[in-house]
Amino acid sequence: MAEKKNKKPRTIWMKKGSYKHLLDVLNGIRRELHELRRTVRYVVMGMQHQLSFDKDYIASIVCRDEVDQAILEMLRNSPAEGLLPRDIASEVHDGTTPWNVTQRIRRMNQKLDTHIGQQVAEKRGLRWCLTSFLDLSWTEEELPDM
């Protein structure tokens, strides 16, 4: 009787195909990254009363360009009842429409919400104004050190 030849075991990427295997590895990394982001967000939300977020950090998270920064500055200097999107758009002078202003604010809210669980601005009727979180964090920054 002839002896059987020992077969060389195939690796997982040879069985599934290298492309499918790489996609599985990439999707696993994405899942782990998503879980880490969620964990960091929960930690930040739990320690929020002990953490202070300065203006530069928040601007680096939410602002994509100088138009976003101008919108934030206008909202910061706005009265308590807030500003209409058309007033903000008329001050920006970048061809920005009121609809663009609203979409930019919503995008900034979403970005900050995914990072630290807070929002940049809130609606009061038809007007936009800064949230109390952002107001508080920016006024704490201006206080002189003693």
Contact criterion met (CB below 8 Å) for 112 and 58 = yes
Q: How far is CA 99 from the centre of its chain?
A: 20
Q: At what angle do helices 18-46 and 98-116 cross, to 10 degrees?
A: 90
Task: Return the bridge partners of 83, or none.
Answer: 128
Q: What is the pLDDT of residues 77-93, one digit of tens each?
A: 988 899 999 999 999 87
Contact 49, 42 (CB under 8 A): no
Question: Tokens 């939300």 — which residue?
Answer: 45
Q: What pTM was estimated for this model as a whole? A: 0.72
**Architecture in CATH for domain 52-142:** Orthogonal Bundle (1.10)
Listed in order, strand segments (DSSP E) in 1-144 are 121-124, 127-130
Average pLDDT over residues 113-125: 90
| Domain boundaries along the sequence of the chain | 12-45, 52-142
Of the pLDDT bands very low, low, confident and very high (cuts 50, 70, 90), residue 144 is low
Helix (H, G, I), strand (E, B) or coil at 129: strand
Model confidence over 24-74: pLDDT tens digits?
A: 999 999 999 999 988 988 888 888 777 778 888 888 999 999 999 999 999
pLDDT band at 146 (very low <50, low <70, confident <90, very high): very low
Instruction: Kindly report the average pLDDT of the chain as a whole number.
Output: 87
